[in-house]
Structure 1
């Protein structure tokens, strides 16, 4: 009897361990319920109408997190928007493809890499036409006792201090990973609500996927601190040199 109990405990531990590796598919979408319609309000400027039109045209995208116990890599499906073709008087011209704001918010062509064995979080992205790696600052989480069920997993709610980012994570999958570098909680992040506009929800959990064996750290571009990255943005948008 003792041997049988030991065997059961052993296989339970093995199963639990195997569930800390795999691939998560997320769906990222824009929340449009409270959006005004473009061109409906005569007081809107042309710029506001164009932005509202882009927001209404934003389409959901898929994003992927491959992970093991300590390492994770998040990326987004390629942008498949095609250029606009015009046929005027027999002359074919092309215009810029429509901008999918959801794809941009989800991370665009960036990569998000985490290695908790050395407390290392970076993103690799195009920063004003130059590829850089940005080392993420640590965040302060506010944990709550609110719960809900997502994909059969009991989840707890948490918030990033001084932001409008709310997440649901599950300790039942005991890794500190999440989408787009939103991580560091005692469980996998399954849902993220960013303010009133964007929602990231888990679509599929695949513990049999073996892509985690091929995770490589992004190495393109110089490594800068997040503070430096933010300062660069302020300088560019202020027009100062």
Structure 2
């Protein structure tokens, strides 16, 4: 009952809290988000590997930081938004395996959301081939809570939801827990694992915690998050935190908010099936998204 009252109150605030700036016909906003994915468990596992030298460990950590700590820009209006990584020059000589991991993570493209039509379009490059993924926006059963906090001068409300995890979402890969109580004799008899994919797993679902502000009453947010009565300023899925660091309402330079058009058009299911098939090929070859092998998609 309490949750329903909170939801009703915030819905009223959502409708009535439109400031003159937001009421403008050509209203637009820009938000900058810092995304950071925890890599502590991977670092611990690497540290246990005696074959990895301190120099190699340092290089691995630097590459992981580039992949898992990024800045994104969200341009939004009342009904649509585009979300993309801040453009940066790629360092020369970047490990091809690291670029492949970036491909698995789906970075580098433009994520277009239309909350009015409840659809999204995102262009992704995978294995040297461009895809244009078009599908319906994921619907999350948000639970609105009364807890508040300040983010960048905005009063934000807490909301939580349980979300199914895509098997192609590399950001949510977790290292498998080591089996305890295993006899040393059994370990010696086991073939040595060289396949990265054999050491990781993906949970079926995760709990999302979001903080949104009714002071900016647009149902938008970073990445594929949406559906709350206000702009989402922070998202935490237990592995990745996306935090808004800057907001500009009605910037002087307007962004062109439209869906990308380049790439082979597929549904999310079709894209996932393509990626999973290629991941299985890696597994059979004894490689993985962090390995040195380079493969390309065939038309």
CA shift for structure 1 position 179: 1.1
2:237 corresponds in structure 1 to: 194
Aligned length: 216
* Alignment deviations for residues 91-140 of structure 1 (CA, whole Å, 9 cap, x no partner): xxxx6479489977985211000122322212111133221111244232
After superposition, the C-alpha distances for 1:26-70 in whole angstroms (9 at most, x for unaligned) are 11223356664465325x776xx9799635650433210111100
- Shift in CA distance, 236/39, structure 1 to aligned 2, threshold 3 Å: closer
> CA 1:55 to 1:143, structure 2 compared with 1: closer, same or farther past 3 Å?
farther
CA 1:148–1:134 in structure 2 vs 1: closer, same or farther (change >3 Å)?
Answer: same
The RMSD of aligned alpha carbons is 3.6
**What is the aligned counterpart of 1:40 among 42, 47, 50?**
47
More divergent stretch after superposition (143-152 vs 110-119): 143-152
Structure-1 residue corresponding to 2:33? 26
Residues 136 and 225 in structure 1, CA contact (< 8 A), matched pair in contact too: yes
Return the offset for 1:225. 1.4
Greater strand share, 1 or 2?
1
- SS in structure 2 of the partner of residue 54 of structure 1: helix
Given candidates 201, 214, 222, the residue that maps to 1:179 is 222
Q: How many angstroms apart in 2 are the aligned matches of 1:52 and 1:184?
A: 41
2-structure distance, mates of 1:52, 1:83:
18
1:222 aligns with 2:271: no
Matched residue, 1:7:
none
Write the distance in 2 (CA, Å) between the matches of 1:139 and 1:175: 16
Say whether residues 1:54 and 2:54 are aligned partners. Answer: no
In the alignment, structure 2 segments of 5+ residues that lack a partner are 1-17, 164-204, 285-297
Instruction: Tell me by how many angstroms 1:149 deviates.
Output: 1.7
What TM-score, normalized by structure 1, do the two folds share? 0.73
Q: Which shows bigger deviation, 207-216 or 95-104?
A: 95-104
Using a 3 Å threshold, how does the CA distance of structure 1 residues 105 and 222 change in structure 2: closer, same or farther?
A: closer
Question: C-alpha distance in 2, partners of 1:236/1:194?
Answer: 26
Greater relative CO, 1 or 2 (CA 8 Å, sep 6+):
2
